[in-house]
Amino acid sequence: MQHAAKSACSATVHRQSMNTYTVRDLRHTMERWNTEYALVLDEAHASNLHRTRLLSPVAAALNGLFALIFLWLVLSAADGDPAYRWKLWQLFTHTGMGIALAACGLAGRPLEHRHRSWPGRWLPVFSIAICIGFSILITAIDQWITAAITPFFIACIVSSLTIYLRPQMAAILYSVACLAFSWLIGFTQHNPDILLSNRINGLAVCAIGFCLSVLMWRKFTTIAVQKHQLEKAHAELQLKQRELERLTRQDGLTGLFNRNTFVELSTNELKRAKRQGSATTILLLDLDHFKRVNDTWGHPAGDAVLRNVAQNMVNTVRSTDLVGRLGGEEFIVLLPHTTAESGRKIAEKIRQRLEQSDVRWEGHRIAVTASIGLSSTTADEEREFDSLYTEADKALYLAKQRGRNRVI
């Protein structure tokens, strides 16, 4: 007995636990859905307004055609025609439905780019409410000659497949439609059995329309969320690609062009100078006694000095000039459309700025000087980068030999 009681108690606890997990999972699912709905709602409004603007005139034209048919039937009806009342009311109903839908189509044009506005959000809902409302009236009028509810069925299904509605809005719309349908056909269908059958069928039609609407909304939401995720992933990939390109083209410490990139850009610039017949100057800069900085204050201090040098050089030259770091404490500058004399003035300006801009490091001031070698090509010469670089390197060597902190 005690074993059976324990088993029953365990089973009860297990069922309660399963129910708790089910409720919790359902709550989490609803929270996730609401988050997704908020993400895609703006896109849904835009799509709904676009569809309303395009489909409302089509539906209006179709109702206009039906109105013409019923007008011809009314005008050609014989005296005492038992279906005359049905034809006349269908003429009025289709005419009114066509006018209302045409108005929705016209109203949607100025709202095409204003889907976030109140009219832009509610016009699509209003248009399908018109369709379902008039379909109920048409179906009720049809009860005078037939028990079919085809117009109401078509309107509910087409509306659920045309406009994206949040489940809450779809529930309200189809609930109201079901009540209105059941109430209105009671005025025209007097056979109790047929009336009951039609009301049950109308309830089923509304349930089908609601389920289709929810499925369409979930499909749209899933696709839109995946689209946003793909766009986000694509943007992140492009950002990483640009960052990778930057890293492959720039020196990681100073942000200047690295050796390979500088040589590539300089080669292109020299070709352009050759075509345009302009002078070009190269400055090769090497910091004086840089090893002492690393030995005395450590490599982090040396990195700070290198960054300071790079910043001073960039601030001194023109925006069209190229500044690169060849490696270690060696930097290089390409000065397009610059003669040797003008290049020397720029080099002296760089040298003086470096000499005057000490680097502060842990309470100490680190003095920085540089030796600069200059090489230039005139407008009449055709020099390659390697030739200019070799010449500038020789000039730099002479600057070091003659006491450093100078331009040769």
Q: What is the pLDDT of residues 28-37, one digit of tens each?
A: 665 666 666 7
Q: How much helix, strand and coil, in percent to the nearest 5, is found in the chain?
A: 70, 10, 20
Q: Which of 113-122, 162-171, 333-342 has the lowest mean pLDDT?
A: 113-122
- Please give the average per-residue pLDDT across 137-141, as a whole number: 96
Band of residue 10 on the pLDDT scale cut at 50, 70, 90: low
Which helix (H) or strand (E) is 326 found in, with range? strand 322-327
CA distance 351 to 407: 8
**What class does CATH assign to 259-401?**
alpha beta
Give the residue extent of every domain in the chain.
2-234, 259-401
Taking 70 as the threshold, does the pLDDT of residue 132 lie above it?
A: yes
Q: What is the pLDDT of residues 328-374, one digit of tens each?
A: 899 999 999 999 999 999 999 999 999 998 888 888 888 899 999 99
- Please give the average per-residue pLDDT across 69-83, as a whole number: 90
User: Which pair of tokens denotes residue 36?
Assistant: 């997704």
User: Which pair of tokens denotes residue 66?
Assistant: 């039906």
CA distance 267 to 296: 39
- State the pLDDT at residue 248: 74
Residue 31 CB-density burial (10 A; 0-12 exposed, 13-18 middle, 19+ buried): exposed
Q: Which of 12-16, 120-124, 215-219, 290-294 has the lowest mean pLDDT?
A: 12-16
Taking 80 as the threshold, does the pLDDT of residue 5 lie above it?
A: no
Question: The dihedral of CA 36, 38, 43, 46: what is its sign?
Answer: positive
Band of residue 278 on the pLDDT scale cut at 50, 70, 90: confident
Band of residue 381 on the pLDDT scale cut at 50, 70, 90: confident
Taking 90 as the threshold, does the pLDDT of residue 65 lie above it?
A: yes
Taking 80 as the threshold, does the pLDDT of residue 382 lie above it?
A: no
- State the pLDDT at residue 42: 81
This prediction's pTM: 0.60
Q: Which residues of 219-239 are buried (b: 16+ CB within 10 A; e: fewer)?
A: eebeebbeeeeeeeeeeeeee
- State the pLDDT at residue 6: 54
- State the pLDDT at residue 226: 85
Taking 70 as the threshold, does the pLDDT of residue 143 lie above it?
A: yes
Average pLDDT taken over every residue of the chain: 87
In sequence order, the 6+-apart residues with CB closer than 8 A to the CB of 259 are 324, 325, 326, 327
Band of residue 47 on the pLDDT scale cut at 50, 70, 90: confident
Band of residue 12 on the pLDDT scale cut at 50, 70, 90: low
Q: Which of 145-159, 175-189, 236-250, 314-328 has the lowest mean pLDDT?
A: 236-250
CA distance 282 to 372: 10
CA distance 351 to 367: 12
- State the pLDDT at residue 7: 57
Query: For the chain, what's the residue count?
Result: 408
The larger pLDDT score, comparing residue 310 to residue 381, is at 310
Question: Which letter does DSSP use for residue 185 in this model?
Answer: G
Taking 70 as the threshold, does the pLDDT of residue 304 lie above it?
A: yes
Query: How large a percentage of the chain has pLDDT more than 70?
Result: 89
- Please give the average per-residue pLDDT across 304-321, as a whole number: 92
Band of residue 117 on the pLDDT scale cut at 50, 70, 90: confident
Band of residue 231 on the pLDDT scale cut at 50, 70, 90: confident
- Please give the average per-residue pLDDT across 68-95, as a whole number: 92
User: By the 8 A CB rule, do 49 and 124 touch?
Assistant: yes
- Please give the average per-residue pLDDT across 295-314, as a whole number: 91
Taking 70 as the threshold, does the pLDDT of residue 322 lie above it?
A: yes
